[in-house]
Chains A and B, each alone.
Chain A
């Protein structure tokens, strides 16, 4: 099943504002407008790969209003630990354990450990080694930010016949394929992850108002 078909059935289950065309494959977007704290924007984004071509990435994005401009990237898990140790995560909730498996880059290294110490966030990240987090301002210096949970789009291809034509796009077959796939669970997990990240980043100590007059305050 392609992205648009899968997202269509997810929308039928979860509701929200859905924009997609059955004639296209990857351009569907869904706004979950019933979430507490603002809508979540779900899309399959085309991003440049290392070889210059485009690859597809699922992104679930929320808006957050912070007291100062901040950016953070928590990459997906590496195959090997930073220290060259075994390739399987161990128990433990410490930030070093998280950073041993994932690259973390942030504009404010003093605040970032507070953010990453959230146990629920750590648990969700550990449960999905492919997922990664991104927080960044909507404009340089802005207080309005986007918080995204992302992962590579996989298993989102149509079944094709010998001539390369899509097959099995009838409703009963699509329902069956959707139910058999883990699409619903993946999306729910990403929504959960991004909500947890947004809630955590919103809890940060406030008070630095030096950038309050920056661009993006009222976007």
Chain B
């Protein structure tokens, strides 16, 4: 079953304004209402070549912050993970020699930093953001999910907080064919949707975006060093 079909059924259950076509597969968009501001669910092309097109599913919310802030929390590649192990070793060695070397900062969340790379332009503020228990619990429970915070434009306080996961690998798009390879009818499709993990996975993605939104707005940004 395509992303559009799954999102259509999700919209039927959760509400919101759905934009998607039957004849398309991965372009569907859903705008959900939320007391703290609308939530956008969509896919974004991450790479495209003759071998195929890859997309992320994104749940985006907006926040206003005092100054430009960026945050990336993403599962590291195997190579990067190996490099981090080496850097950790160097760091331990430096500590034994009584020197301070913050080569792989964990921002006060070692259980997250151990699995993922954390990159930010405001390390002090990120320490506060990652104190959110809900945010940490969701990141731990869904290891493939990523988080991004970026300014929306060249000026102004608006930022986009985005939770992402690879469409092809991170979500279970349920099958819309029966065991004989025939398309399911509407009722059977609905039943298959309800039996699938799609809504649970998408709810977790939306939950992650909301938890990150609450995390970055829970504290004022620290004073900037002159």
- The answer to whether A75 has its CB under 8 Å from any CB of chain B is no
Stretch at the interface among A116-124, A125-133, A135-143, A203-211: A135-143
Evaluate contact between A63 and B19: CB separation under 8 angstroms: yes
In the complex, the chain B residue whose C-beta lies closest to that of A56 is B45
- Which residue of the partner chain, among A19, A140, A218, contacts B22 with CB atoms under 8 Å? A140
- Which residue of the partner chain, among A19, A169, A174, contacts B160 with CB atoms under 8 Å? A19
- Interface residues contributed by chain A, number (CB under 8 Å): 43
Evaluate contact between A29 and B148: CB separation under 8 angstroms: no
Nearest-neighbour CB distance to chain A for B126, whole angstroms, equals 16
Residues from chain A with a CB closer than 8 A to the CB of B133 are none
- Which residue of the partner chain, among B11, B22, B151, B160, contacts A136 with CB atoms under 8 Å? B22
Stretch at the interface among B36-44, B102-110, B166-174, B215-223: B36-44
Evaluate contact between B18 and A29: CB separation under 8 angstroms: no
Nearest-neighbour CB distance to chain A for B85, whole angstroms, equals 28
- The answer to whether A20 has its CB under 8 Å from any CB of chain B is yes
- The answer to whether B62 has its CB under 8 Å from any CB of chain A is yes
Known: A8-B152, A41-B19. 12 other contacts (CB 8 A): A5-B153, A12-B153, A22-B151, A29-B42, A38-B17, A45-B27, A53-B49, A54-B53, A146-B20, A171-B155, A219-B12, A219-B18
Hey, which bits of chain A sit against chain B, CB under 8 A? Answer: 4-5, 8-9, 12, 17-24, 27, 29, 31, 38-39, 41, 43, 45-46, 48, 52-54, 61, 63, 136-140, 142, 146, 169-171, 174, 215-216, 218-219
A-B pairs with beta carbons under 8 Å apart, 18 shown: A4-B153, A5-B153, A8-B154, A19-B160, A22-B153, A27-B44, A31-B38, A39-B31, A41-B19, A41-B29, A46-B53, A54-B45, A54-B53, A63-B17, A63-B19, A137-B21, A138-B18, A169-B154
